[in-house]
Chains A and B, each alone.
Chain A
């Protein structure tokens, strides 16, 4: 007896939804352009991004409250007179609905435009940092300090101090000096944003070329994997349980381990055999057989397998790595810059700014300034004693 059910992600419907979503986005944007606004400016705006994040969050909340997919068939919603209307709105397939996809598409546009917009600055921070600046630029930074005395000597000391604080020192042509840290912060932040494009691309490839089906196979029977030449035989399902205690009383039992002894055939020829468990699937030619669940009938146990193939998965994993590295380095190592310049009266001007964590930077800055002053004081007194 062959029993196979595939309910999950019907590819035919899926393709059309993407098209519909794309249509929605283009209609929305053309409408926006027609009423006389500049689409490019709108697409790059942070307000749009935040609105989209917000709408996405709201749609997701609705998705968790309403029954999704096959679950709706067991719920009272089926009897609702407006059931068909809701279904067509996509409320019961929220995450695959055209609206959801349209928001994702729009967000992707926004992301791409923003990244494109910010890329030159981020690259410039790394390749051509702004070293030559005017006095007024230095003193009008969010943090600034003036060090009295011999400007050139103070500049030398400040360079030493900042370099001992792990700042990279750059000498400008007009006498100003830039000390900076974390200049890759912007690049990492962009890498983080781009990683979602990679993950999204991987997801799209998977949804177009891969499959994900559920096979329910009673003991000793065989099922075919749709869209391949594979069949799989369940040689036996085993279940062990352990008691659930409440105090010393046993109130029930719960499964502690379950496994299926599977054999995979390709064109009728046995190619693999393994006893699979929840965290230990059988893999063959990119097709994975996972132990998903089980249920019991009058004739015995039926194992539920999740069989899938996802050719774009490596892309998704690359995206994952980029996202983790990007966010960690982007947020934990902020870009800090301190400009040094000798002012005409012979004083040293110091001005600093950062893109994140301002109070912490202020503390760093104060410490550096205090250290410079201290060392200068010591040197001055040392000079005094030799004279």
Chain B
């Protein structure tokens, strides 16, 4: 039984291909069903997000599993398998585990440290589990992966400092106003970036939004979108006094907000801070505004600088995360190797042998008067009992090992006979010997 993963992501494949290969829930189900119908594959979890499509599987022959997965995926996407193969990566065994852990810790993401991927993994696993497409191996792997993802988020600061310009801006605003609820934002001008920032602000609790634009119609339209109030561009100075956050991105060739206006507004609002975000190029806000008491001004360069510093911080945290992942991968490998049928049988037999010898020793001490011959007879009887008892499980286990869900027998056997702790030590010993 081998773990493997086949997939494409934002690094390996262009967006056009990723779009085609992307799987919705329904496609995931049919793909899994198809794969499980094939002989070598016993467990499947497909994972599909906007940046990646991956198929995690357990197969008796990994190469056959890879072929099947590639063919099915290409078929589902309606593309040439060769085209997919050129962009796909394939990992098996320990490196497949390592890959999933990295994905869960969002080290493999486009934005390192983003939080969404963990939820997506959870969802993908829960669906596969509900379809009963998973068994011992992938169950354990995905549950561990989710734990690893959580651990990386709590033990490192990987997700703490935002790296996109709009979230950096909101993060900075929250260092002035701890709680944005009850506060007002003023949006000046339109644009993707300013709208993104506004969305972020609203998601973080901003209660009311004022919108202004040179053309009133545009202002109305934006106001409707953000459930805000359009205000006339000419009376900007008056409305400045109401705003706790100002987001600026007009196409004006000159400054739209000047120092004097801000000073006046500041007096009217009794020095309550205003946070200015200027994402326009050329700039909309007079840089002198930053010198006004309790006014804070960040232009696009400032925001990019903070974002870059945060990204560097994330890189540093990513190294810590790698360390955690490596430890966890080792732990998982240890568990997997304990599930091999042959060592388990050996161990079970050795345990039976030990019990037999122990009991015989006791019997020998109690039964003084026995002759050598009689003693041999007793020993033979003990061996026969042990062998007969062990025969059926041994055969069944060997047979089951190559079937889907075979690990379940090994796992159950280990638990029933209390073989877990010992085997691990044995494994370690064997590894260091080798």
Binding site for B on A (CB under 8 A): 139-140, 142-146, 359, 362-363, 365-366, 369
Contacts and interface: CB of A to CB of B under 8 A. Distances in A.
Contacts of B358: none
A82 to B, nearest CB: 44
The majority secondary structure among interface residues of chain B is loop
A4 B208 CA distance: 77
A247 B207 CA distance: 66
A366 B242 contact: no
A143 B207 CA distance: 9
A144 B242 CA distance: 12
A366 B182 CA distance: 8
B179 interface: yes
B179 A362 contact: yes
B217 to A, nearest CB: 22
A62 B272 CA distance: 37
Contact of B179 (A139, A146, A363): A363
The 4 lowest CB-CB distance pairs between A and B, nearest first, are A143-B182, A366-B181, A362-B182, A145-B207
A139 B242 CA distance: 11
B175 to A, nearest CB: 14
Nearest to B241: A140
Contacts of B433: none
Contacts of B242: 140
Contacts of A139: 208
17 contacts: A140-B242, A142-B272, A144-B182, A144-B207, A144-B208, A145-B182, A145-B207, A146-B207, A359-B178, A362-B179, A362-B181, A362-B182, A363-B179, A365-B182, A366-B179, A366-B181, A366-B182
Contacts of A366: 179, 181-182
Contacts of A363: 179
Contacts of B207: 144-146
Most B CB contacts (10 A, CB to CB) among A142, A145, A146, A369 go to: A142
A141 to B, nearest CB: 10
Contacts of B179: 362-363, 366
B102 to A, nearest CB: 39
Contacts of A146: 207-208
Contacts of A369: 181
Nearest to B272: A142
Contacts of B178: 359
A359 B181 CA distance: 11
A311 B397 CA distance: 107
Interface in B64-91: none
A143 B179 CA distance: 12
Nearest to B182: A143
Interface string B225-249: 0000000000000000010000000
Contacts of B272: 142
A144 B207 CA distance: 8
Interface in B269-283: 272
Nearest to A365: B182
Nearest to A148: B227
A46 to B, nearest CB: 14
A142 B179 CA distance: 14
Contacts of A365: 182
A310 B206 CA distance: 61
Contacts of A144: 182, 207-208
Nearest to A359: B178
A299 B242 CA distance: 81
Given A144-B207, A366-B181, 5 more contacts: A139-B208, A140-B242, A142-B272, A362-B181, A369-B181
A136 B265 CA distance: 19
Interface in B146-202: 178-179, 181-182
